[in-house]
Amino acid sequence: MPAIVRIAAAALVLGLAGPALAAPAASPAPAPAAEAFSLAPLPYAYEALEPVIDAQTMRIHHGKHHQAYVNNLNTAVKASPALQGKSLEAILADVQNQPAVVRNNAGGHYNHTLFWTLMAPPGTGGEPSAALADRIRKDFGSIDAFKQAFQAAGAQRFGSGWAWLVWTGDKLVVTSTPYQDNPLMGDAPVKGAPIIANDVWEHAYYLKYQNNRGAYLSGWWGVLNWNQANRLFETATRKGK
């Protein structure tokens, strides 16, 4: 056998053949379309809010409930060209013109994304800033009176919903909303910038507190991230000037 033929035969055996002899490359699969919205990881561990909120509640709440809002919102966006490319805030501002699936899941995604940042491990959430504390005293009389009003809003929300402290542009207001409604929605009865929000759906507290929503609401101050509330208030009042 001439040397050149022997080399070619050896190359074939060794799998060193050139491109002409290689199996044709599979045509690359088209990249899947990017999802419009995604679930960010929690800014702390699942067990970080114990003993106020247990790890199992946080794992299910973030990984199952919030993930489902994100998935359902992405499905709704794919089905509606008018929603594509819109920010979450823009969707909420016009949500009264959308089907319930958009309202519930855009609200659910916004509310939970905010909620995670408004909590911190016990002892690490700080205190109200001078600016926020002064404004709370002006609008509610005292920090304690504000807390009582906020807890009452959560306790009196029949069924599922949220309690809110909202900056309306000229004052702080405590309110509550049903389901996943929020103060950014175009048809919200109280519109404004959320400063503090608490989830009063049973899925937020039932494993630890069962039917005792009041105990959840009063214990929740132990994980409130005042530092984040201070930032939200600072941003909201700076915008209003």
Let me know if 31 is exposed, middle or buried by CB neighbors in 10 A (0-12, 13-18, 19+). Answer: exposed
Q: List Cβ<8 Å contacts ≥24 apart for 133-137.
A: 135/172, 135/233, 135/237, 136/172
Measured in whole angstroms, how far is the alpha carbon of residue 204 from the centre of its chain?
Answer: 13
Least distance (Å) between residue 59 CB and Mn ion? 13
Least distance (Å) between residue 182 CB and Mn ion? 12
Q: Which is nearer to Mn ion, 166 or 199 (CB)?
A: 199
Number of residues that bind Mn ion (CB under 5 A): 2
Q: Which is nearer to Mn ion, 146 or 201 (CB)?
A: 201
Least distance (Å) between residue 49 CB and Mn ion? 14
Strand pairing partners for 38? none
Phi, psi of 74, deg, nearest 5: -60, -40
Q: Which is nearer to Mn ion, 128 or 199 (CB)?
A: 199
Runs of H (alpha helix) within 30-163:
55-60, 67-78, 88-93, 100-117, 130-140, 143-156
Q: Is 55 helix (H, G, I), strand (E, B) or coil?
A: helix
Q: Which is nearer to Mn ion, 50 or 139 (CB)?
A: 50
Q: Is 152 helix (H, G, I), strand (E, B) or coil?
A: helix
Least distance (Å) between residue 24 CB and Mn ion? 51
Q: Which is nearer to Mn ion, 104 or 237 (CB)?
A: 104
- Which positions from 179 through 208 interact with Mn ion, judged by CB under 5 A? 199, 201
Least distance (Å) between residue 190 CB and Mn ion? 20
Cβ–Cβ contacts within 10 Å for residue 183, how many? 23
Least distance (Å) between residue 112 CB and Mn ion? 6
Q: Which is nearer to Mn ion, 181 or 199 (CB)?
A: 199
Q: Which is nearer to Mn ion, 46 or 201 (CB)?
A: 201
Q: Does residue 220 bind Mn ion (CB under 5 A)?
A: no
Least distance (Å) between residue 60 CB and Mn ion? 10
Taking CA atoms, 226 is separated from 119, 123, 129, 234, in Å, by: 8, 11, 8, 12
With CB atoms as reference, the residue minimizing the distance to Mn ion is 199
Phi, psi of 167, deg, nearest 5: -90, 115
- Which positions from 15 through 44 interact with Mn ion, judged by CB under 5 A? none
Catalog residues that contact Mn ion under the rule CB under 5 A. Answer: 199, 201
